[in-house]
A and B are shown apart, each in its own frame.
Chain A
Amino acid sequence: MNKIIITVVGKDTVGIIAKVCTYLAENSINILDISQTIVSGYFNMMMIVDMSKSSADFMNVSDSLEKLGEGIGVVIKCQREEIFDSMHRI
Chain B
Amino acid sequence: MININEVSETNEMIEKENLDVRTITMGISLFDCISSDLDTLNKNIYEKIYNSAKNLVQTGEDIAKEFGIPIVNKRISVTPIALIGASACKSSDDYVTIAKTLDKVAKEVGINFLGGYSALVSKGMTESDRLLIESIPKALAETDVVCSSVNVGSTKTGINMDAVRLLGDVIVKTAEKTKDNDSAGCTKLVVFCNAPDDNPFMAGAFHGVTEADRIINVGVSGPGVVKTALEKVRGENFEILCETIKKTAFKVTRVGQLVAKEASARLGVPFGIVDLSLAPTPAIGDSVADILHEIGVEHAGAPGTTAALALLNDQVKKGGAMASSYVGGLSGAFIPVSEDQGMINAVNAGALTLEKLEAMTCVCSVGLDMIAIPGDTKSTTIAGIIADEMAIGMINQKTTAVRLIPVIGKKAGDTVDFGGLLGFGPIMNVNRFSCDEFVNRGGRIPAPIHSFKN
Chain A residues within CB distance 8 Å of chain B: 5, 7, 33, 35, 37, 44, 46, 48, 58-59, 62, 77-88
List the 8 closest A-B pairs by CB distance, nearest first.
A79-B68, A83-B67, A35-B4, A46-B4, A86-B258, A86-B254, A88-B6, A84-B2
Distance between Cα atoms of A44 and B11 in the complex (Å): 12
Q: Which of B7, B66, B67 interacts with A46 by CB under 8 Å? A: B7
Are B254 and A87 within 8 A (Cβ)? yes
A79 touches B67 (CB 8 A): yes
Residues of B within 8 A of A (CB): 1-4, 6-11, 62, 65-69, 251, 254-255, 257-258
Give the residues in chain A near B8, CB-CB below 8 Å. 7, 44, 46
7 A-B interface contacts by CB (under 8 A)? A46-B4, A48-B1, A62-B65, A78-B68, A79-B67, A84-B2, A86-B257
- What's the nearest-Cβ distance from chain B to residue A13, in Å? 20
User: In the assembly, what is the distance between CA of A26 and CA of B7, in Å?
Assistant: 25
Extra contacts besides A84-B2, A85-B2 (16): CB < 8 Å? A5-B7, A35-B3, A44-B4, A46-B3, A46-B4, A46-B8, A59-B65, A78-B68, A80-B67, A81-B2, A82-B258, A83-B69, A84-B10, A86-B258, A87-B10, A88-B251
A82: chain B residues within 8 A (beta carbon) = 67, 258
Of A59, A77, A88, the residue contacting B11 (CB under 8 A) is A77
- Nearest neighbor of B1 in chain A, beta-carbon distance: A33
A63 to B439, CA, bound (A): 60
Query: Would you give the shortest CB distance from B4 to chain A, in whole angstroms?
Result: 4
Please tell me if the beta carbons of A58 and B66 are within 8 angstroms of each other in the complex.
Answer: yes
B-side contacts of A87, CB under 8 Å: 6, 10, 251, 254-255
Contact in complex: B2, A77 (CB < 8 Å): no
Distance, CA A82 to CA B4, complexed state (A): 15
Residues of A within 8 A of B257 (CB): 86
Contact B1 A83 (CB under 8 A): no
Residues of B within 8 A of A33 (CB): 1
Partner of B255, one of A35, A58, A81, A86: A86
A77 contacts which chain B residues (CB < 8 A)? 11, 68
Give the tally of cross-chain contacts (CB within 8 A): 59
CB distance from B153 to the nearest CB of A (A): 38
Main secondary structure of the interface of B (DSSP, over half): helix
Chain B's nearest CB lies how many Å from the CB of A61?
11
By the criterion CB–CB under 8 Å, are B66 and A79 in contact? yes
Provide the bound-state CA to CA distance between A80 and B258, in Å: 11
**B258 x A88 contact (CB < 8 A):** no
Residue of chain B at shortest CB distance from A77? B68
**Which B residues touch A88, using CB under 8 A?**
2, 6, 9-10, 251
Verify B6–A37 contact, CB threshold 8 A. no
Select the residue from B1, B67, B251 with max chain A CB neighbours within 10 A: B67
Distance between B15 CB and nearest chain A CB, rounded to angstroms = 10
Q: Which residue of A lies closest to B322 (CB)?
A: A90
Q: Which chain A residue has the least Cβ–Cβ distance from B262?
A: A82
Q: Which residues of B contact A78 (CB under 8 A)?
A: 68
Which A residues touch B2, using CB under 8 A? 5, 48, 81, 84-85, 88
A37 vs B4: C-alpha distance when bound (angstroms):
9
Closest beta carbon of chain B to A3's beta carbon, Å: 9
Q: B105 to nearest A CB, angstroms?
A: 28
Taking A44-B8, A48-B1 as contacts, is the C-beta distance between A80 and B66 under 8 angstroms? yes
Give Cα A49–Cα B8 distance, bound, in whole angstroms. Answer: 17
Please give, as numbers and ranges, the residues of chain A lying within 8 Å of B4 by CB-CB distance: 35, 37, 44, 46
Q: Give the complex CA separation of A15 and B2 in angstroms.
A: 25
Point out the residues of chain A lying under 8 angstroms from B10, CB to CB: 83-84, 87-88
B160: shortest Cβ distance to chain A, in Å? 43
Bound together, the chains give a CA A37 to CA B67 distance in angstroms of 23
Give Cα distance in the complex from A77 to B10, angstroms.
Answer: 13
Residues of B within 8 A of A84 (CB): 2, 6-7, 10
| Chain B residue at minimum C-beta to C-beta distance from A89 | B2
A35's nearest neighbour on chain B, judged by CB, is: B4
A78 and chain B: residue at smallest CB distance:
B68
The residue on A at minimum CB distance from B7 is A46
Assembly CA distance A46 to B67 (angstroms)? 15
Residues of A within 8 A of B66 (CB): 58-59, 62, 79-80
